[in-house]
Amino acid sequence: MNVAHEQGTAGAEREVFHFLAWAWDVTAGNAIAAEYPVRRVDVTVLAGIVQLIGVNRARAGAADLSRPLLIAPISGAGLFVIDGWHRITRALAEHVTHLPARLLTEADEARIRLRGP
């Protein structure tokens, strides 16, 4: 996993999440999701996956657990967190079982995907 700040096409800085062959514009995703309802999701089911993500532990310790995760449906793979792995890591370390989240649509995911199958 790699979270990077990159220059967008309009010259503005954007946050980008890279995972394997995929990359998403997190800045655009959060802007789209701002209009969607916030749900509470169980993050304990992600305990095994978080080790594969490669989270910066120091950054995770300061993560804001009140900020919603950004979750997207990935065709053929199910739901995937594209913003919030530091929050998930902190929540699991502090035995917090649920976090707020916003769910994008498949069309939203396609619009913010920068690369991937």
Q: Using CA atoms, how far apart are residues 87 and 116, in angstroms rounded to an integer? A: 24
Tally the C-alpha atoms within 13 A of residue 74's C-alpha that lie toward its C-beta. Answer: 17
Other Cβ atoms within 10 Å of 7 Cβ, number: 9
pLDDT in tens, 43-55: 999 998 888 888 8
pLDDT in tens, 24-68: 999 999 999 999 999 999 999 999 888 888 888 889 999 999 999
DSSP secondary structure letters along 59-111: HHHT--TTSPEEEEEETTTEEEEEE-HHHHHHHHHTT--EEEEEE--HHHHHH
Tell whether pTM > 0.85.
yes
Which of 92, 31, 83 lies closest to 61, judged by CA? 92
